[in-house]
Amino acid sequence: MRLGYSYRLYPDGPQREALARAFGCARVVYNDALAARKAAHEAGEPYISDAAMSARLTESKATPGRAWLGEVSSVVLQQALADLNRAYRNFFNSATGKRKGAKVAPPRFRSRKDRRQAVRFTANSRFRVLDNDRLRLPKIGDVEVRWSRPLPAEPSSVTVIRDAAGRYFASFVVEASPKPLPEAEAECGIDLGLAHFAVMDDGTKVTAPRFLRRAERKLKRAQRDLSRKQKGSRNRDKARVKVARAHAHVADARRDFHHKLSTKVIRENQAVYVENLSVKGLARTRLAKSVHDAGWSAFMVMLEYKAALHGREFYRIGRFEPTSQVCSACGVKDGPKPLAVREWECAACGTVHDRDVNAAKNILALGRRESLNARGGQVRPPLAVAQAVESGSRRSAA
């Protein structure tokens, strides 16, 4: 399975300039190709094939207007085309129903103002980790890396990212072989919620750790400061950088929290069942901010790939199951309850329930039933691992 490993990079001045050039060139190649395909489409011509697009790139590098593209690794430019091809493929597959899930929008032009700038080097571009621990990037240089943990195997590609806070990261894709853990007795149902980040069927309630809450408070303060600054002023620019930094810290702290919790849950349980909240659906409601802040989907992706890696089972329970309406003790359906109701007594058996713990218990029971059904019929293929893992494993670099 493919896993992502990210590390903080510390390019020096000339390397930062070379990277800025690479980001710029990749963006131009991407945008040129997108414009060409859009123009062909508007003219009623057929879709320009990937091969034809690649040939066009080679041609354009020979023209005086685009000769400067030769200053960056050609792999970076080819990968920019590959990004566009993938974006189109996803869009087409989504439009024709071949790809399930939320609709994918058509590719958009990239901008130098995008919060995230990135270029990708593949193995044939001969990037290399040197004996002196630096990362050699073609036409960039030997860049200093903070190796927060070892790379488990030879990486097949590396994406170099500059985030909104101006920090640089190298994200390696590594083919990892599964590392099964000794079998565990326990199984666990998890209810992801707003009052608590996660509630387990055994009654454990997990709230965001203090370091994350502190980072969030700092971010709020920075945002407030920014809103008070005069438009176009120097101080506003400074405040904007502060907000970007605070954002980055919150993201790091949250990722750290998700990593610790998902590792613990996977280590302690043989099977993990989580209610598959319609995160996308919720995100359009007024709960939106909390949904994005909580980062449930990132957490579930971690659970999923760690389960696959360590020989555990992970199931998402359908979101239409009324987990908060059914008494986990006697199974009587008690009807919907407003979110404000945190505790209730079952009219049938008299059990007093904590709303979230009861939901987690139901998730566990439902999950066991579903997985039993699945095993009765056929052996489940290993769960697919989302590419999102790539950013999921970035370590806190503060």
Q: Which residue from 348, 372, 374, 384 is in contact with Zn ion, where contact means CB under 5 A? A: 348
Point out which span in 3-11, 84-92, 252-260, 342-350 binds Zn ion (CB under 5 A): 342-350
- CB nearer to Zn ion: pick between 40 and 332: 332
The yes or no reply on residue 352 touching Zn ion (CB under 5 A) is: no
**CA–CA–CA angle 115, 120, 121 (5° rounding):** 155
Catalytic residue among 32, 252, 356, 390: 356
Q: How crowded is residue 113: how many other Cβ atoms within 10 Å of its Cβ?
A: 6
- Footprint on residues 51-80 left by Zn ion (CB under 5 A): none
The yes or no reply on residue 326 touching Zn ion (CB under 5 A) is: no
> How far apart are alpha carbons 83 and 53 in whole angstroms?
12
> How far apart are alpha carbons 171 and 134 in whole angstroms?
14
- Strands in 193-326 per DSSP E: 198-200, 205-206, 271-275, 313-317
- CB nearer to Zn ion: pick between 140 and 327: 327
CB of residue 323 vs Zn ion: minimum separation in angstroms?
A: 14
Point out which span in 9-17, 167-175, 262-270, 338-346 binds Zn ion (CB under 5 A): 338-346
The yes or no reply on residue 347 touching Zn ion (CB under 5 A) is: no
Q: In this structure, what is the dihedral angle of CA atoms 140, 143, 147, 148, given to the nearest 10 degrees?
A: -80
Q: Which residue from 76, 219, 346, 365 is in contact with Zn ion, where contact means CB under 5 A? A: 346
> How far apart are alpha carbons 160 and 141 in whole angstroms?
13
Decide if 202 is catalytic: no
- CB nearer to Zn ion: pick between 3 and 326: 326
CB of residue 203 vs Zn ion: minimum separation in angstroms?
A: 17
Catalytic residue among 163, 191, 201, 304: 191
- CB nearer to Zn ion: pick between 251 and 327: 327
The yes or no reply on residue 329 touching Zn ion (CB under 5 A) is: yes
Quickly tell me which residue has 């488990």 as its tokens.
152
- CB nearer to Zn ion: pick between 151 and 348: 348
The yes or no reply on residue 349 touching Zn ion (CB under 5 A) is: yes
3-state SS class at 245: helix
Catalytic residue among 187, 201, 275, 334: 275
Residue 148, CA distances (Å) to 6, 9, 76, 394 in order = 9, 11, 26, 10
Residue pair 272/190 in contact by the 8 Å Cβ criterion: yes
The yes or no reply on residue 327 touching Zn ion (CB under 5 A) is: yes
Residue pair 76/25 in contact by the 8 Å Cβ criterion: yes
CB of residue 351 vs Zn ion: minimum separation in angstroms?
A: 5
- Footprint on residues 183-242 left by Zn ion (CB under 5 A): none
Decide if 185 is catalytic: no
Cβ partners under 8 Å of residue 391, min gap 6: 4, 6, 171
Decide if 356 is catalytic: yes
54: number of CA atoms within 13 Å, CB side?
11
Q: Which residues are catalytic?
A: 191, 275, 356
* Residues lying near Zn ion in the complex (CB under 5 A): 327, 329-330, 332, 346, 348-349
